[in-house]
Amino acid sequence: MEPCISTRNHKSLEKGGAILAYLILSTYPGKGSRNSGDHLISKSLKDLLIAVKGKQIDIDIYSVVDHEVKDVPDLSKYTAILSPAMRPTLEGDVIAPKNRYAFLKEAEKRSIPVFAIGAGWGAYPGTIKQSTSLKMNSEDREQLISIFGETSHGNKRGVISARDITTENLLHYNGVQCYGTTGDCALFDTDCLMTRHNLPRKMDNIALSLPHNKDHWDMSYSLALQLKQAFNCEVFMTLHGYRGSFGKHIPPHWDQTQVNIKEFAGSSEKFDFYHHMDAHIGFRLHAHIWFLRTRKPSLLIAEDGRGLGHLATLNGLGYAAPSTNSLNKADQLITLSADVIADMRKEQPSFKAVEMFKQEMMQGYPVTSHSLNLIDKLWLTKMKPLLEQIP
């Protein structure tokens, strides 16, 4: 299938003039799991900046997972520091990644404005009610208020936006001034926005992204077999990040003549394989986001607050993977206790994705179409205006 269909021409980059320099603080763990979803976020922000600014700009990307502040040559050369997908820390957790606090503190000391674009919480299971009641880590809360609140002169040192409505709720509840919900940076590809939707009438192949929770991998394999039978198509199971040898992660009892297994750890360029897929049904938020950004259908089985918050924001196609018991007890959850983790492993996610997607397809993709229109609206009314504010 064609990646996107667009008849618009983009203005070429201007030559000469003042060069703006930006530092993007990426959460991509190049020395760890090499999660390609994290790489997609920072790469997307870089592409969006070039599209919006329309001039020659310098953009450096540093992983706050892999680097310390001392590794950056000279922070003072940057016009602004950009922190996509920054995670507000909940009470009982530690600020992660640990170097993020030091980068923001150094920026504040040098009076460099900070733009945290598409911040996203990581609560489990991540309900709407939790987002209006959970407290943030006091150190993180104080730093965010210091940077994104009003100064004594009435000026902000930076701006923070939310990836989803639940993160926006959390920030407001904890006294952090929020620009509003812009969506994830990876949702937007300027070559695809406002173009026609790629909604197939027949499935030749489906991508199924594997969950973070490895205890649910066998359920995913069973789901892949069900999808293969229900849609009479090929199914490709994808792994976005892992440590060690890829082969050691594949259970020996999986029949690889029945399903295909692809590894995507590393550069987000590996997502180009998804261009060959008709649809996505699975657990990884950035697989789901990649299909929506390229105007294709996707059903997300949400593992935690990141996924549920995204579904709530876009009225998206999907449902909650956490156990019924943990969802019922969500109002009492503060951190992931041993009991909660055991509960996560005990109850497998529902297989209702098969019937839900079948109905979506038969009805002409009404939920997907609505979500894609909301993405266009988010771009025009929230994300693009925020990027235009960056000095």
Mind listing the pLDDT tens digit for each residue in 255-302? 999 999 999 888 899 999 999 999 999 999 999 999 999 999 999 999
Task: Report which secondary-structure segment, H or E, holds 256.
Answer: none
- Calculate the average pLDDT of the chain: 89
| DSSP-derived 3-state class of residue 240 | coil
Among 336, 341, 338, 307, residue whose Cα is nearest residue 321: 307
Would you place residue 5 in the very low, low, confident or very high pLDDT band (cuts 50, 70, 90)? very low
Beta strands across the sheet bearing 20-26: 57-63, 20-26, 80-82, 114-119, 158-162
pLDDT of residue 329: 76
Q: What is the pLDDT of residues 377-391, one digit of tens each?
A: 999 999 999 999 999
The reported pTM is 0.91
Give the single-character DSSP code of 349.
P
pLDDT of residue 151: 62
- Tell me what the mean pLDDT of segment 130-144 comes to: 94
Would you place residue 121 in the very low, low, confident or very high pLDDT band (cuts 50, 70, 90)? very high
Please give the Cα distance from 53 to 382 (Å, whole number): 16
Question: 333 phi and psi, to 5 degrees?
Answer: -80, 135
- Tell me what the mean pLDDT of segment 1-7 comes to: 41
